[in-house]
């Protein structure tokens, strides 16, 4: 890659004498550039690829059709417009034959008709749509040797400028340059120290060093990721009516890390689209696939699951096609695309890649919905590895001494009376039923965070005491161990809030049970007596089959399971129910006598947020479905026990009894071994075992703190994908298989696609003509304010043609051949003379190129919403520079969520209020109001570029919103504490926000404003106190309040300067 080494500040003197104003030569008419867009706008609706709307059996989008005879006459006769039926029809005055017809919404202008005529007269040369042709390496224009050219980009830009007689602008001042490139690469302004260092560096490599430093900054990854969050429709809630919270911030961290580590954009693409399918995929690669789980998801009751499964798959198709292909593929959902060569069948062939995910149409209201992974941060992963290494070391030592342990484990000494149960870890409630209906309660950790706002208040103390209902005393008989409770139709045990848990609580319920004949009755229940609908939790027998119903509505929002085999009558059986907290049938199990049972899943759609009521009853379901039978050793654990632990619970013999056996079973030996090492053995091995068990408990608690993230995953058995007639989920048509639109498969004949991984690899292959162009065009837009192709999301027939097609192809080929190196591309862009130009708009430039399409100057751009806030926090000294972590909730108008979403907004405190804007909690139905004021997207759909508006609301927000007023006060405080004299303070403040020294006139304006405000606040101390009290940060106590208020007003004015809120 060539680089001109002419010193930066000498370039203005050189290029001014090297350019001459050249008139643009007469151009030939280009079909792809000039004619196809006209036909697409005015003709393709009836004569394009959409078969449903095709008229007169005529297509103008196909080469073979355009030159054929129609109605006995050649449609286009190269070289002769008058004999071409196309030209005759568009110039006809008879409404009966004129095209487009009178009722058409779009008409041809006289200039467009003349352009079509000229194209035919010049030979009517056809060209396929430029975007569907592979980019090729192009030679540099002859102006590449011009002194103004710093790198290859400038050669292409300068050649276009010369064609139009445009002269480049001078290089921007060093102050403007460092401010511009620092904002562009980090989203933050440069510090005064960084500006000073750049100004004092007179070497020819000074600017390159600044760029290198910024690319190596961790802030670079944050700035680049900010753009990608819009693309990926990232948000912290599901959307739709409930719009409950989800947790995808670990995916956001992955994006930041990917940009900072300069992950190849090829890998960046493959991992986000199909990281889960890579061989030996790492946690980070699977985490990346959260890209296509960021879409909106519905948790409303009553929805049709199949409908929303289609909506999710359609969103993935549309987003993937928009982001990587620059195509409006979603237009082909209901019919063939009206303008681009994408049929409806091809749309569903692409959807087949995304239609095999083990998800449900209705998601969990609060939290992440399956499929999910545990996604530890680096620090967490290191801690977890340490725990695992220590556990492995302890297990190895125990294994080395296993023979010695087994030889002595039957020697229990005098410890025949157990102080605590054999399986006691995480045991919370125990009913041993030894002559009492009262429970034993143990203090344990592990209660799940309760997302629900219901049933979270204080519970009466009496609800923690078991009571006998409907008779005076409970009945007890001989049990498995000691006594058992005998239940019948005459009474039940009320437990109140003794056992109470949320749907996402890990838990185990365990009991011994005996019925004399096949029975139907309830072991334990927790219902809502005020709700007549079947709901809550119920653990019961149904003709001796063990059944569990769990959820807020058993009919449509619950998990309901039943064992395929009944338990035996006339004998004791041990039964247990476990749940891993996922609220899915796959995460629940029922055991009988230590063996996991095959289950009939009666319902598996527990998505609502739910916590059981404080209405526990043992022996009945409310006041119905009484149990006629015996219960013994009924327990509640705050985790899902392991199968081995369940087997030990199902062993009726005590450790002492097992120790006396000659040939104990495997399960009996497991129970004895665990008891011996856990409660008896005082040797080093006993210590190691107890350390291991404690470490396992610590590890479990730690794993619970590891964040989850939703990811992509494939169903084991691939389902079928059908075309959907008119796009309706319930109107399937022909079956389709995974494939790519034929118009994009040039040079890939015979290629088959069998997975998302195949799709991802094709997207970044040389056979795909679009992706490299689409991506470099978006980076170009990011740094120049406008894409080479203006329509970032549409490279199809309706999209804008490239202003610099040869430049676009050169960049695409360079990007691809350079291993998709993003930092190298960004460096190339920001070190070009094109980028380094001044943004001043001369009268000549305004007349020649008002929109700056031909790049004769730098574009002046309003800062994005997040950057505006980050800048205010940075210059005021408030910014919390922490990178990554969960989203935070800064200031916003009180009651906004309550008014719109009927939910409470729990504003953050402390340093959370001063995190960067990209970490702000994003609720789709109520996005951050100040961000939206400055054109942030709602994140409901993929957005490639935000609109840029200027409204009075924006000015009001910058002047009055809490964050900006608080930042102004802290900036004022810095001004006062850093400098002594008013003039020095004003100069320091100006340089802090603009990165340049103020002129004498500018200082005088600030000084006059300061004097006015000093008088105002000296006369109104209450107003001064109110102004400096905005926000949670505390003003310095040794500063005069009235003076601080006056400087705050000046600081606010500085932060609202046009050159501060814009990138110049």
CATH of domain 425-666: 2.60.120.200
State if pTM tops 0.75.
yes
Among 529-543, 727-741, 857-871, whose mean pLDDT is lowest? 529-543
Residue 1009's Cβ-count burial label (10 Å; 0-12, 13-18, 19+) is middle
**Residue 263 tokens, joined:** 């992950």
Q: What is the CB neighbour count within 10 angstroms for residue 686?
A: 17
pLDDT at 11 over 50: no
Query: Any idea where the domains of the chain sit in the sequence?
Result: 31-126, 237-318+332-374+716-766, 425-666, 863-1064
Q: How far apart are CA 788 and CA 804, in angstroms?
A: 6
pLDDT at 49 over 90: no
- Taking alpha carbons only, the member of 457, 462, 464 closest to residue 429 is 464
- Specify whether the CB–CB gap between 220 and 214 falls below 8 A: yes
- Specify whether the CB–CB gap between 975 and 990 falls below 8 A: no
Helix (H) or strand (E) holding 745: none
Residues 333-351 have pLDDT tens digits of 999 998 899 999 999 999 9
Residues 347-404 have pLDDT tens digits of 999 999 999 999 989 998 889 999 999 999 999 999 999 999 999 999 999 999 999 9
pLDDT at 110 over 50: yes
- Taking alpha carbons only, the member of 825, 791, 824 closest to residue 131 is 791
Q: What is the CB neighbour count within 10 angstroms for residue 104?
A: 14
The pLDDT, as a whole number, for residue 103 is 83
Residues 125-134 as b/e (b if ≥16 CB within 10 A, e otherwise) read: ebeebbbbeb
Q: How far apart are CA 116 and CA 124, in angstroms?
A: 9
| Residue 105, φ and ψ in degrees, nearest 5 | -75, -30
**Residue 687 tokens, joined:** 């210590």
C-alpha separations of 923 from 341, 364, 929 in Å: 37, 16, 10
What percent of the chain clears pLDDT 70, i.e. is strictly above it?
Answer: 95
The pLDDT, as a whole number, for residue 18 is 36
Confidence label for 16 from pLDDT (cuts 50, 70 and 90): very low
Residue 59's Cβ-count burial label (10 Å; 0-12, 13-18, 19+) is buried
pLDDT at 256 over 90: yes
The pLDDT, as a whole number, for residue 883 is 97
The pLDDT, as a whole number, for residue 748 is 60
pLDDT at 19 over 70: no
Confidence label for 15 from pLDDT (cuts 50, 70 and 90): very low
DSSP 577-636: EEE-SS-SGGGEEEEETTEEPPEEEEEE---S--B--S-EEESSBTTBS---EEEEEEEE
The pLDDT, as a whole number, for residue 302 is 86
The pLDDT, as a whole number, for residue 459 is 56
536: left (phi over 0), alpha (psi -120 to 50) or beta: left
């Amino acid at each position: 890659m060539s680089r001109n080494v002419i010193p930066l500040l000498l370039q203005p003197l050189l290029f001014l004498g090297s350019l001459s104003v050249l008139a643009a030569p007469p151009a030939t008419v280009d079909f792809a550039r000039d004619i196809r867009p006209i036909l697409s706008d005015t003709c393709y609706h009836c004569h394009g690829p959409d078969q449903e709307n095709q008229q007169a059996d005529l297509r103008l989008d196909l080469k073979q059709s355009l030159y054929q005879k129609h109605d006995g006459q050649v449609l286009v006769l190269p070289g002769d417009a008058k004999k071409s039926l196309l030209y005759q029809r568009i110039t006809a005055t008879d409404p009966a034959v004129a095209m487009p017809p009178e009722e058409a919404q779009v008409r041809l202008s006289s200039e467009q008709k003349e352009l079509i005529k000229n194209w035919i007269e010049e030979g009517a040369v056809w060209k396929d749509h430029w975007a569907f042709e592979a980019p090729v390496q192009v030679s540099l224009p002859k102006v590449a040797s011009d002194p103004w050219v710093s790198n290859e980009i400038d050669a292409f830009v300068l050649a276009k400028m010369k064609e139009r007689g445009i002269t480049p602008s001078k290089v921007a001042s060093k102050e403007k340059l460092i401010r511009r490139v620092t904002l562009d690469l980090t989203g933050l302004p440069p510090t005064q120290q960084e500006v000073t260092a750049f100004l004092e560096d007179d070497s020819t490599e000074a600017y390159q060093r600044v760029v290198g430093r910024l690319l190596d900054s961790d802030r670079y990854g944050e700035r680049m990721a900010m753009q990608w969050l819009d693309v990926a429709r990232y948000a912290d809630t599901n959307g739709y009516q409930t719009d409950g919270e989800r947790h995808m911030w670990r995916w956001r961290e992955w994006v930041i890390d990917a940009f900072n580590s300069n992950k190849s954009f090829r890998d960046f693409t493959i991992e986000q689209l199909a990281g889960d399918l890579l061989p030996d995929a790492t946690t980070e690669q699977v985490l990346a696939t959260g890209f296509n789980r960021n879409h909106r998801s519905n948790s409303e009751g009553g929805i049709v699951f199949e409908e929303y499964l289609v909506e999710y798959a359609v969103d993935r198709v549309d987003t993937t096609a928009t982001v990587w292909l620059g195509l409006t593929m979603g237009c082909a959902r209901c019919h063939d695309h009206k303008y681009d060569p994408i049929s409806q069948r091809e749309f569903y062939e692409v959807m087949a890649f995304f239609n095999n995910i083990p998800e449900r149409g209705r998601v969990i209201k609060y939290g992440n919905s399956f499929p999910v992974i545990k996604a530890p941060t680096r620090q967490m992963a290191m801690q977890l590895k340490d725990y695992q290494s220590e556990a492995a070391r302890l297990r190895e030592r125990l294994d080395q001494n296993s023979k010695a342990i087994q030889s002595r484990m039957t020697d229990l000494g005098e410890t025949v009376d157990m102080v605590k149960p054999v399986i006691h870890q995480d045991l919370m409630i125990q009913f041993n039923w030894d002559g009492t209906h009262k429970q034993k309660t143990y203090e344990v950790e592990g209660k799940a965070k309760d997302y629900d706002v219901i049933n979270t208040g204080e519970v009466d103390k009496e609800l923690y005491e078991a009571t006998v209902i409907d008779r005076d005393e409970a009945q007890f008989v001989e049990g498995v161990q000691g006594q058992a409770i005998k239940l019948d139709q005459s009474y039940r045990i009320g437990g109140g809030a003794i056992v109470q848990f949320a749907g996402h609580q890990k838990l185990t319920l365990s009991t011994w049970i005996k019925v004399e004949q096949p029975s139907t009755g309830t072991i334990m229940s927790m219902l809502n007596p005020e709700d007549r609908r079947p709901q809550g939790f119920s653990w019961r027998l149904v003709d001796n089959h063990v059944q569990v119903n769990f959820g807020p509505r058993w009919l449509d929002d619950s998990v309901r399971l039943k064992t395929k085999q009944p338990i035996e009558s006339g004998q004791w059986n041990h039964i247990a129910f476990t749940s891993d907290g996922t609220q899915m049938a796959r995460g629940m199990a029922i055991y009988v006598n230590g063996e996991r049972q095959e289950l009939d899943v009666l319902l598996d759609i527990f998505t609502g947020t739910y916590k059981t009521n404080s209405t526990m009853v043992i022996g009945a379901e409310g006041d119905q479905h009484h149990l006629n039978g015996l219960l013994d050793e009924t327990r509640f654990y705050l985790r899902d026990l392991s199968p081995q632990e369940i087997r030990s619970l199902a062993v009726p013999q005590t450790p002492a009894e097992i120790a006396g056996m000659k040939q104990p079973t495997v399960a009996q030996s497991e129970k004895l071994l665990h008891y011996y090492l856990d409660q008896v053995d005082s040797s080093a091995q006993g210590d190691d075992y107890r350390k291991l068990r404690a470490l396992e408990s610590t590890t479990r608690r730690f794993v619970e703190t590891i964040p989850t993230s939703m990811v992509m995953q494939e169903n084991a058995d691939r389902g079928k994908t059908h075309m959907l007639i008119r796009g309706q989920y319930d109107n399937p048509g022909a079956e389709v298989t995974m494939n790519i639109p034929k118009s994009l498969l040039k040079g890939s004949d015979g290629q088959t696609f069998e997975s998302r991984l195949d799709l991802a690899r094709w997207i970044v292959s040389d056979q795909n003509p679009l992706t490299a162009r689409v991506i470099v065009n978006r980076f170009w837009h990011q740094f120049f304010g406008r894409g080479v192709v203006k329509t970032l999301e549409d490279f199809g027939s309706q999209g804008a043609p490239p202003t610099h097609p040869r430049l676009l192809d050169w960049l695409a080929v360079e990007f691809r051949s350079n291993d998709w190196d993003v930092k190298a591309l960004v460096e190339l862009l920001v070190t070009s003379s094109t980028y380094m130009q001044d943004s001043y708009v001369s009268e000549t430039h305004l007349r020649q190129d008002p929109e700056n399409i031909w790049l004769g100057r730098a574009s002046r751009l309003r800062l994005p919403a997040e950057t505006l806030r980050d800048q205010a926090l940075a210059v005021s000294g408030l910014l919390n520079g922490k990178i990554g972590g969960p989203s935070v909730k800064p200031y916003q108008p009180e009651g906004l969520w309550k008014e719109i979403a009927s939910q409470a907004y729990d504003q953050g405190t402390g340093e959370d209020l001063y995190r960067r804007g990209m970490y702000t909690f994003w609720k789709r139905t109520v996005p951050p109001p100040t961000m939206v004021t400055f054109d942030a997207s709602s994140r409901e759909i993929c957005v490639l570029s935000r609109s840029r508006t200027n409204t009075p609301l924006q000015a009001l927000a910058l002047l009055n919103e809490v964050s900006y007023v608080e930042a102004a006060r802290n900036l004022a405080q810095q001004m006062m504490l850093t400098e002594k004299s008013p003039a020095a303070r004003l100069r320091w403040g100006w340089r802090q926000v603009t990165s340049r020294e103020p002129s004498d006139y500018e200082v005088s304006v600030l000084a006059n404003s300061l004097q006015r405000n000093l008088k105002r606040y000296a006369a109104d101390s209450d107003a001064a106190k109110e102004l400096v009290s905005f926000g949670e940060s505390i003003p310095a106590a040794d500063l005069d309040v009235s003076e601080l208020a006056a400087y705050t007003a000046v600081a606010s004015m500085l932060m609202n300067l046009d050159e501060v809120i814009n990138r110049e």
